[in-house]
DNA sequence: GTGCGAGTATGA
DNA sequence: CATACTCGCACC
């Protein structure tokens, strides 16, 4: 920092700064052009989340372009940052340090990306630095060099979106006008409920690719996001089929650093304008963006697990607005968040004709209605209702049968044999689970093995499995259908496709392989297990998973059948009562369910009809947080309550005699973590989020000793 | 977070 | 009066 540039240029006041900042360094090596750089420094402190000014040594004048990665001295350490602007004069009164190094002159933080990341940080009360880390992949110098040497590719001729796109969207009356407006450079926004189709010319990946192709043909770019890489594979293939190679790139977490950065650079440099990828692809710096689209809004993989936890829905929604792009959210089901967009007039519904849905959707049967007393020994041994067993047996004559099981692993969840209460850890009251067939049960929260179980309610000492998991089911079902090949797909080994020949495919939700020309039948097991999850979205999530599996099944017109097992209707008295997710599946009417669910959320003042913010910490931390919080009017406080109260259906028994000191804290279970929820009506949401952001800055500036977690739009602990 | 200066405590 | 330490705040 011995640079003389630093002393020279702290001069006249700032009136002309804005005009001067617009000039670009023209003559290489000219030292006096915009010698001040505004730098967003990655200092992990909330109250320092703003640009700082540095002097630009003349040797770096041409390299330190807006968007470049740099290294700067900050508070005695070398930190990474991005140049976000250059100017002739500093606004900062004191002396400036010099940029230490330009890591790469590649302008990775484009103005559009900066605007997007700033808006996302604001929306989630997070820091810009955190969002930039999600948006910009780590630099890979070799990829940068290799791509530079390769040079920009010749723009290949784009095939005009022809009959194939029209065909993929033919089943949707609103499709033609959406595509027309998209092609014309407008910004339509739609919630697309895909009709199930096992016809590759009309399936959802082809339709999505067609929408992207339409944006490209209109001279604009497209960003497509899918929850996982298998969905990305399908859309990737559909894009290649439609556009040929070279017009799109893929950006997904399963790529290596070099492949990922190469693909990202191709987008940044404008070599391609179409991206298909997993959630981080929502930030891909596509030029002239014309379309943002994502698939399966309800999949929790679209929620970023790192701070500030932005959801693809919000990122792409903000982005469509900032860049005037069309927006398309697709799925076999519709989330309440998307249904809200429709009622607010932000989204237009795009659905198939009822007659097409009826033909293309499988027939849905609810096991337990009517013939439940009839028992088959083979069905019994497979733990299947006989209706399901017979459906599978019949279907195996003509193709593969999918069996969806809601939980992974072997006997995953345990309860008391005598009173059926969920078995809980003696240390922290987390749920007990069997990881292996032979090992002792283990707490899923703190990992403590449980050697001698004693039920706090009935003093029973025996455990039973509450839900039969995937591996167990595969063994049982395999025995029930001797001679039929059995495939499993789930955590660890996920299959993407299975052949059209008869086989049994046991899969956990989200891991169902696609069967060429569709499954002949699909069994959905343990419906209760999904429905009774004590989370806000249990019904929505159950229906989403059922529809996703059912959509891989042949249409009713060609004998496709889905059997829902272990659902509420298996208790025949309950079948009279409407269980909305079950009814929505049977009628294949996700729109009805979403509307109904949204209305219920509205009546109960639950998200997405209100804005929630969550504070998590010790009792002292929350007390202090409330002192520092400057809440606008209209925000209500709920709690503080123990964080896991929703999941801990069992009351917490008193600590064993001998005092709390004998119970050693294990993991996070030892410290008492409470949550305080802040709730605001949607119009007051920005005020709530601003208050949370200010609290975060204060907490950091005051060096509060206790940790405090702040989260806007929490997903856990709000059941 | 780190570095530093002001202010305060401690001891020869 | 010199040195050791804490506290508070700026960090460009």
pLDDT tens figures, A479-515: 888 899 999 998 778 899 999 999 999 998 999 999 9
A564-584 confidence digits (pLDDT tens): 987 654 444 444 456 899 999
Task: Indicate yes or no: strand B within 7 A of the C-beta of A43.
Answer: yes
How far is it, in rounded angstroms, from Cα A504 to Cα A403?
7
Residue A703 CA and nucleotide B10 C1' are separated, in Å, by 28
Q: Which of the four pLDDT bands, split at 50, 70 and 90, describes residue A648?
A: very low
Give the residue-averaged pLDDT of A471-478. Answer: 74
Residue A264 CA and nucleotide C12 C1' are separated, in Å, by 31
Closest nt to residue A74, judged CA to C1':
C11
A388: which residues sit within 8 A by CB, 6+ positions away?
A367, A379, A523, A563, A565
What pairs with residue A167 in β-bridges?
Answer: none
Task: State the first-to-last Cα distance of chain A, in angstroms, to the nearest integer.
Answer: 54
A222: which residues sit within 8 A by CB, 6+ positions away?
A211, A212, A215, A216, A273, A274, A275, A286, A289, A290, A291, A292, A293
pLDDT of residue A276: 98
Closest nt to residue A53, judged CA to C1':
C12
Give the residue-averaged pLDDT of A82-102. Answer: 96
Which range among A278-282, A448-452, A475-479, A628-632 has the greatest average pLDDT? A278-282
Closest nt to residue A37, judged CA to C1':
C12
Residue A628 CA and nucleotide B7 C1' are separated, in Å, by 27
Nearest to A377 by CA among A386, A369, A368: A386
pLDDT of residue A569: 45
Distances from the Cα of A212 to the Cα of A221, A226, A230, A635, angstroms: 8, 14, 19, 41
Q: Which of the four pLDDT bands, split at 50, 70 and 90, describes residue A113?
A: very high
Q: Which two tokens stand for residue A623?
A: 């007390």
Kind of pairing between the strands at A363-366 and A348-351: unpaired
Task: Indicate yes or no: strand B within 7 A of the C-beta of A708.
Answer: no
Task: Report the 10 Å Cβ neighbour count for A236.
Answer: 21
Among chain A residues 503-562, those with CB within 7 Å of any atom of strand B = none
Task: Indicate yes or no: strand B within 7 A of the C-beta of A75.
Answer: yes
SS3 A293: strand
User: Which residues, by CB, come closer than 7 Å to strand C?
Assistant: A 45, 47-48, 52-55, 73-75, 92, 94, 96-97, 701
Closest nt to residue A76, judged CA to C1':
B2
Spatial contact of A549 and A512, defined as CB atoms under 8 Å apart = yes
Closest nt to residue A703, judged CA to C1':
B1
Does A539 have pLDDT greater than 60? yes
Residue A456 CA and nucleotide C12 C1' are separated, in Å, by 60
SS (H, E, C) A523-544: EECCHHHHHCCCCCCHHHHHHH
Residue A13 CA and nucleotide B4 C1' are separated, in Å, by 28
**High-pLDDT (> 70) share of chain A, %:** 82
How far is it, in rounded angstroms, from Cα A531 to Cα A548?
16
Task: Indicate yes or no: strand B within 7 A of the C-beta of A76.
Answer: yes
Longest dimension (CA), chain A: 93
pLDDT of residue A571: 42
Residue A513 CA and nucleotide B4 C1' are separated, in Å, by 62
Q: Which of the four pLDDT bands, split at 50, 70 and 90, describes residue A297?
A: very high
Residue A697 CA and nucleotide C10 C1' are separated, in Å, by 15
Spatial contact of A275 and A281, defined as CB atoms under 8 Å apart = yes
Does A189 have pLDDT greater than 60? yes
Closest nt to residue A54, judged CA to C1':
C12
Closest nt to residue A705, judged CA to C1':
B1
Q: Which nucleotides of C are covered by protein (CB under 7 A)?
A: 10-12
A398: which residues sit within 8 A by CB, 6+ positions away?
A502, A520, A559
How far is it, in rounded angstroms, from Cα A425 to Cα A409?
19
pLDDT of residue A460: 82
Residue A77 CA and nucleotide B12 C1' are separated, in Å, by 38
**Helix (H), strand (E) at residue A275:** strand A274-277
Task: Indicate yes or no: strand B within 7 A of the C-beta of A703.
Answer: yes
Task: Report the 10 Å Cβ neighbour count for A368.
Answer: 24
Among chain A residues 173-202, those with CB within 7 Å of any atom of strand B = none
Q: Which two tokens stand for residue A19?
A: 């005009």
pLDDT of residue A686: 97
Residue A701 CA and nucleotide B4 C1' are separated, in Å, by 17
Closest nt to residue A44, judged CA to C1':
B1
Task: Report the 10 Å Cβ neighbour count for A574.
Answer: 14
Q: Which of the four pLDDT bands, split at 50, 70 and 90, describes residue A601?
A: very high
Q: What is the dihedral of CA A450, A453, A454, A460, to 10 degrees?
A: 160
Closest nt to residue A51, judged CA to C1':
C12
Spatial contact of A549 and A513, defined as CB atoms under 8 Å apart = no
Give the residue-averaged pLDDT of A532-540. Answer: 81
Closest nt to residue A77, judged CA to C1':
B2
pLDDT of residue A419: 61
pLDDT of residue A379: 66
How far is it, in rounded angstroms, from Cα A316 to Cα A320?
6
Closest nt to residue A91, judged CA to C1':
C12
What pairs with residue A291 in β-bridges?
Answer: A222, A326
pLDDT of residue A412: 58
Cis peptide upstream of residue A608 (ω within 30 degrees of 0): yes
Task: Indicate yes or no: strand B within 7 A of the C-beta of A94.
Answer: no
Residue owning tokens 């049994």:
A504
pLDDT of residue A661: 29
Residue A78 CA and nucleotide B4 C1' are separated, in Å, by 18
Residue A36 CA and nucleotide B4 C1' are separated, in Å, by 25
Residue A317 exposed, middle or buried by CB count within 10 Å (0-12, 13-18, 19+)? buried
Residue A701 CA and nucleotide C8 C1' are separated, in Å, by 11
How far is it, in rounded angstroms, from Cα A64 to Cα A67?
8
Closest nt to residue A95, judged CA to C1':
C12
Q: Which of the four pLDDT bands, split at 50, 70 and 90, describes residue A370?
A: very low
Spatial contact of A415 and A519, defined as CB atoms under 8 Å apart = no
Q: Which nucleotides of B are covered by protein (CB under 7 A)?
A: 1-4
**High-pLDDT (> 90) share of chain A, %:** 67
Q: Which of the four pLDDT bands, split at 50, 70 and 90, describes residue A11?
A: very low
Does A24 have pLDDT greater than 90? no
Average predicted confidence (pLDDT) for chain A: 85
pLDDT of residue A471: 60
Spatial contact of A133 and A305, defined as CB atoms under 8 Å apart = no
Does A409 have pLDDT greater than 80? no
Give the residue-averaged pLDDT of A261-276. Answer: 97
Task: Report the 10 Å Cβ neighbour count for A646.
Answer: 16
State the Rg of chain A over Cα.
28
Residue A705 CA and nucleotide C4 C1' are separated, in Å, by 25
What is the pTM (predicted TM-score) of this model? 0.86
SS3 A415: strand
Angle at which helix A128-135 crosses helix A111-123, to 10 degrees, equals 120
A339: which residues sit within 8 A by CB, 6+ positions away?
A191, A591, A594, A595, A597, A598
Cis peptide upstream of residue A640 (ω within 30 degrees of 0): yes
Q: Which two tokens stand for residue A454?
A: 């004693």
Does A74 have pLDDT greater than 70? yes
Q: Which two tokens stand for residue A15?
A: 């009136």
Closest nt to residue A701, judged CA to C1':
C9
Kind of pairing between the strands at A274-277 and A401-404: unpaired
Residue A94 CA and nucleotide C12 C1' are separated, in Å, by 8
Closest nt to residue A50, judged CA to C1':
C12
Task: Indicate yes or no: strand B within 7 A of the C-beta of A48.
Answer: yes
Does A278 have pLDDT greater than 70? yes
pLDDT of residue A13: 33
pLDDT of residue A621: 92
Does A312 have pLDDT greater than 50? yes
Give the residue-averaged pLDDT of A311-337. Answer: 98
pLDDT of residue A664: 30
pLDDT of residue A159: 76
How many residues are there in chain A? 719
> Residue with CA nearest C9 C1'?
A701
Residue A76 CA and nucleotide B1 C1' are separated, in Å, by 10
Closest nt to residue A99, judged CA to C1':
C12
Task: Report the 10 Å Cβ neighbour count for A693.
Answer: 22
Spatial contact of A90 and A53, defined as CB atoms under 8 Å apart = yes
Residue A82 CA and nucleotide B12 C1' are separated, in Å, by 54
For the ranges A163-167, A304-308, A467-471, A689-693, the lowest mean pLDDT is seen at: A467-471
Give the residue-averaged pLDDT of A640-660. Answer: 44
pLDDT of residue A423: 76
Q: Which two tokens stand for residue A122?
A: 């604001």
Q: How far is CA A344 from the centre of its chain?
A: 23
Residue A645 CA and nucleotide C3 C1' are separated, in Å, by 55
How far is it, in rounded angstroms, from Cα A437 to Cα A557?
43
Does A17 have pLDDT greater than 70? no
Task: Indicate yes or no: strand B within 7 A of the C-beta of A79.
Answer: no
pLDDT of residue A574: 43
Residue A92 CA and nucleotide C1 C1' are separated, in Å, by 40
């Amino acid at each position: 920092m011995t640079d003389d540039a630093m002393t020279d240029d702290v001069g006249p006041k700032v009136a002309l700064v804005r005009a001067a900042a617009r000039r670009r360094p023209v003559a290489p090596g000219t030292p006096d052009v915009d010698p001040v750089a505004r730098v967003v420094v990655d200092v992990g402190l909330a109250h320092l989340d703003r640009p700082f000014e540095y002097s630009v040594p003349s040797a770096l004048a041409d390299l330190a372009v807006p968007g470049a990665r740099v290294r700067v001295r900050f508070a005695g350490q070398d930190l990474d940052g991005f140049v976000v602007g250059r100017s002739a004069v500093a606004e900062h009164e004191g002396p400036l340090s010099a940029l230490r190094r330009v890591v790469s002159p590649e302008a990775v933080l484009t103005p559009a990306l900066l605007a997007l990341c700033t808006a996302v940080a604001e929306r989630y009360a997070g820091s810009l630095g955190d969002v930039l880390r999600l948006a910009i992949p780590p630099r890979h110098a070799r990829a940068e060099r290799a791509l530079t040497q390769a040079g920009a590719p010749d723009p290949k001729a784009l095939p005009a979106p022809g009959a194939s796109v029209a065909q993929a969207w033919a089943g949707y009356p609103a499709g033609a006008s959406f595509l027309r407006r998209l092609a014309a450079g407008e910004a339509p926004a739609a919630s697309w409920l895909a009709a199930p189709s096992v016809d590759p010319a009309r399936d959802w990946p082809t339709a999505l690719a067609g929408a992207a192709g339409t944006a490209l043909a209109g001279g604009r770019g497209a960003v497509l996001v899918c929850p996982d890489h298998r969905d990305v594979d399908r859309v990737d293939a559909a894009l290649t089929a439609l556009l040929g190679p070279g017009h799109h790139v893929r950006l997904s977490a399963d790529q290596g650093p070099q492949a990922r950065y190469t693909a990202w650079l191709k987008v940044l440099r404008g070599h391609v304008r179409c991206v298909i990828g997993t959630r981080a692809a929502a930030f891909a710096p596509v030029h002239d963006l014309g379309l943002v689209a994502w698939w399966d809004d309800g999949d929790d993989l679209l929620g970023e697990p790192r701070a500030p936890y932005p959801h693809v829905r919000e990122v792409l929604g903000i982005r469509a607005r900032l860049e005037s792009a069309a927006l398309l959210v697709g799925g076999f089901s519709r989330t309440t968040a998307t249904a809200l967009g429709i009622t607010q007039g932000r989204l237009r519904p795009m659905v198939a004709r009822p007659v097409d849905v009826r033909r293309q959707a499988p027939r849905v049967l609810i096991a337990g209605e009517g013939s439940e007393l009839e028992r088959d020994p083979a069905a019994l041994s497979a733990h299947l209702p006989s209706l399901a067993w017979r459906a599978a047996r019949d279907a195996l004559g003509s193709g593969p049968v999918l069996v969806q099981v809601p939980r992974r692993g072997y006997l995953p969840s345990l309860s008391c044999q005598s009173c059926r209460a969920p078995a809980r850890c003696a240390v922290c009251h987390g749920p007990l689970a069997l990881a292996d067939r032979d090992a002792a049960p283990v707490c899923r929260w703190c990992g403590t093995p449980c050697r001698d179980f004693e039920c706090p309610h009935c003093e029973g000492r025996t455990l039973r499995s509450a839900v039969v998991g995937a591996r167990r089911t595969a063994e049982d079902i395999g025995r029930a259908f001797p001679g039929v090949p059995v495939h499993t797909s789930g955590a660890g080994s996920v299959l993407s496709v299975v052949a059209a020949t008869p086989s049994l495919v046991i899969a956990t939700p989200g891991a169902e392989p696609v069967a060429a020309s569709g499954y002949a039948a699909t069994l959905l097991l343990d419906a209760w297990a999904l429905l009774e999850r004590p989370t806000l979205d249990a019904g929505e999530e159950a229906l989403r998973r059922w529809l996703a599996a059912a959509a891989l099944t042949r249409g009713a017109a060609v004998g496709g059948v889905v059997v829902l097992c272990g659902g509420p209707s298996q208790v025949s008295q309950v079948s009279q009562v409407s269980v909305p997710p079950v009814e929505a599946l049977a009628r294949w009417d996700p729109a009805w369910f979403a509307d109904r669910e949204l209305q219920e959320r509205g009546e109960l003042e639950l998200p997405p009809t209100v804005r929630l913010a969550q504070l998590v910490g010790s009792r002292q931390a929350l007390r202090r947080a409330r002192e520092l919080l400057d809440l606008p009017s209209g925000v209500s406080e709920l709690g503080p309550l123990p964080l896991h109260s929703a999941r801990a259906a069992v009351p917490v028994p008193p600590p064993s005699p001998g005092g709390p000191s004998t119970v050693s804290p294990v993991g996070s279970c030892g410290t008492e973590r409470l949550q305080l929820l802040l709730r605001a009506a949607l119009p007051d949401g920005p005020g709530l989020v601003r208050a949370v952001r200010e609290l975060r800055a204060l907490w950091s500036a005051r060096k509060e000793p206790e940790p405090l977690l702040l989260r806007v739009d929490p997903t856990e602990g709000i059941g």
